[in-house]
Amino acid sequence: MKKLSIFLFLFFFLIGGVKAEELAPNVKSAILLETSTGKVLYEKNADEKLAPASMTKIMSMLLIMEAIDHHQISFDDEVIISNQASSMGGSQIFLQTGEKYKVSELLKGIAVASGNDAVVAMAEKVSGSVSAFVDAMNQKAKALGLQNTHFDNPHGLESENHYTTARDMAIMAQELLKHEKILEYTSIYEDYLKKPDGSSVWLVNTNRLVRFYEGVDGLKTGFTNQAGYCITTTAKRNSMRLLSVVMNAETSDLRSKDTVNMLNYGFNTYKLDILLSKDKEVGEAAIEKGEQKSVQLYVENDVTILSKVTDVKTNYDFHLVVDTLKAPIQNQEVVGKLEVMDQEGNIVKAVDVMVKKEIKKATLWTLFNRLFSGITSGIPL
């Protein structure tokens, strides 16, 4: 009878039979969401302020990726390791003062091995000093609307005024995932860092789920005595990407167990339909006084609908809301909305539409020729 009970538990667990309220019994705080819609699928004490430990590095990596995108630094730039960086305690990749590494190597050391020395070196590279980098972290948190987050450092070692929430951490992680290249680093399970003297440091991902759970390709673990065991995890199967955060577990096994529960629940219970891809043309709009009279429009991101796997498939209609545009228009500029409506005519979501080319203002000569051609051809301008 006992064997039968265990079998039934595993059967219902695998098909998604675990109740939502039982998903994360071993952690103090948790959240699960689908990234393209931002829909929260499960939460537990998601707004409780807690120490994030090395999950702090999600914000640090976000600032590093933004600095690369803005051409402040590049992946191939060299970083000279300072005394402050090399003297960091906790998790590290054993950097020595005066050594030189590429940004890409240090980013790998942060993403895979959670190197405190590596993140301090990168903070100095990006902002000139650790304190300036921490200021930038808090400014970014404010810009993202995170009211329950404050950072004292870029690595997550214990500090009285260093805290966040599961919900805020999920928002940070979503922002980091906009920089898809970061997944090339966070998905590495093991690799080597070659040191200037020819020796190597073995890097093993602190996120074991990268190897042992299908679809996991990030993001960041954390542990201190104050924070307990924490992890922010993302996994993609088919077209659906889930993001989970668990905070303050007693052991790493319990941290992983609740994460797996949440991901299994999400993948077994929900499905994601892509109604339109971001490369799909959705219409065109007229342009006043532009080098061209009209321009094709595209959705800024994939248009997706999240539903339960048991829901009956629904058809949707689209309504483009764009006023006449006026030149000049920048490449990638958002110029209107695309409304997605169900069969009853209800708007279920609205997404941005944009142009994919720069439209310059027409010269006076072009406008004159256009006017003259319209008059001689007898067609309206």
- Which of 57, 108, 220, 236 is the catalytic position? 57
Domain 277-375 falls under CATH 3.20.20.10: no
Question: Between 1.10.10.10, 3.40.50.300, 3.40.50.880, 3.40.710.10, what CATH number should domain 24-270 receive?
Answer: 3.40.710.10
Residues 263-301 pLDDT 10s: 999 999 999 999 998 878 999 888 888 888 889 999 988
Q: pTM here? A: 0.86
HSE, side-chain direction, 13 A CA sphere, residue 170: 26
Residues 133-161 pLDDT 10s: 999 999 999 999 999 999 999 999 999 99
The mean pLDDT value for 170-180 works out to 97
What span, in angstroms and rounded, lies between the C-alpha atoms of 115 and 81?
A: 13
DSSP 342-365: -TTS-EEEEEEEE-SS-BPBPPHH
Q: In the chain, where do the E strands start and end?
A: 29-34, 40-44, 78-80, 100-102, 190-194, 200-204, 216-224, 228-237, 240-249, 270-276, 281-288, 294-299, 303-308, 317-321, 325-326, 334-341, 347-354
The answer to whether the beta carbons of residues 175 and 62 sit under 8 Å apart is yes
- Which of 29, 114, 187, 244 is the catalytic position? 114
What span, in angstroms and rounded, lies between the C-alpha atoms of 109 and 144?
A: 26
Sheet holding 240-249, edge to edge: 40-44, 29-34, 240-249, 228-237, 216-224
Active site residue 74: no
Choose between 277 and 47: higher pLDDT: 47
Q: Identify the CA nearest to 26 among candidates 184, 248, 231.
A: 248
What span, in angstroms and rounded, lies between the C-alpha atoms of 283 and 296?
A: 6
pLDDT band at 314, cuts 50/70/90? confident
Distances in Å between the Cα of 367 and the Cα atoms of 15, 285, 291, 377 are: 65, 18, 9, 15
Residues 73-88 pLDDT 10s: 999 999 999 999 999 9
Q: Please determine whether the domains at 24-270 and 277-375 fall in the same fold group of CATH.
A: no
The mean pLDDT value for 28-36 works out to 97
Cβ-based neighbour number of residue 113 at 10 Å: 24
What span, in angstroms and rounded, lies between the C-alpha atoms of 194 and 358?
A: 44
pLDDT band at 19, cuts 50/70/90? low
pLDDT band at 20, cuts 50/70/90? low
Q: List the structure tokens of 248.
A: 């303050």
- Which of 29, 54, 60, 127 is the catalytic position? 54
Q: What is the DSSP letter of 329?
A: B
Active site residue 57: yes
Is pLDDT of 187 > 90? Answer: yes
Strands 200-204 and 190-194: antiparallel
DSSP 217-253: EEEEEEEETTTEEEEEEEEEETTEEEEEEEEEESSHH
Active site residue 29: no
What residue ranges do the domains of the chain occupy? 24-270, 277-375
User: What size, in residues, is the chain?
Assistant: 381
